[in-house]
């Protein structure tokens, strides 16, 4: 109904929906998603916020290493 209406604000959304429509069933058949990538991006964003103000690049990479490996390597 939206694509037949005179509203033009949904045209981009409808075009994207039509373009991706054939791929929607794959998620339900194979249950593949990007949870790992989303989690990794979130960890990088949080670590970057925590490293705000660090001057040395070595310190930033040490913080990343601790955030991603965890403290389990020292336990």
For 23-32, how does the pLDDT look when each residue is reduced to its tens digit (9 = 90+)?
Answer: 878 777 777 7
Residue with tokens 């998603």: 33
3-state helix, strand, coil in the chain (%, to 5): 70, 0, 30
Highest mean pLDDT among 1-10, 25-34, 51-60: 51-60
Percent of the chain scoring above 70 in pLDDT: 91
pLDDT tens per residue, range 36-47 = 888 888 888 888
HSE-CB at 23 with a 13 A cutoff on CA atoms is 7
Q: Which residue has the higher pLDDT, 75 or 46?
A: 46
Closest alpha carbon to 2 in 16, 12, 14: 14
Contact 51/60 with Cβ under 8 angstroms?
Answer: yes
């Amino acid at each position: 109904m939206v694509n037949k209406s005179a509203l033009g604000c949904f045209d981009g959304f409808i075009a994207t929906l039509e373009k991706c429509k054939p791929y929607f069933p794959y998620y339900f058949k194979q249950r593949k998603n990007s949870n790992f990538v989303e989690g990794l991006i979130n960890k990088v964003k949080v670590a970057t916020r925590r490293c705000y103000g660090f001057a040395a690049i070595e310190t930033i990479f040490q913080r990343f290493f601790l955030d991603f490996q965890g403290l389990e390597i020292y336990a």
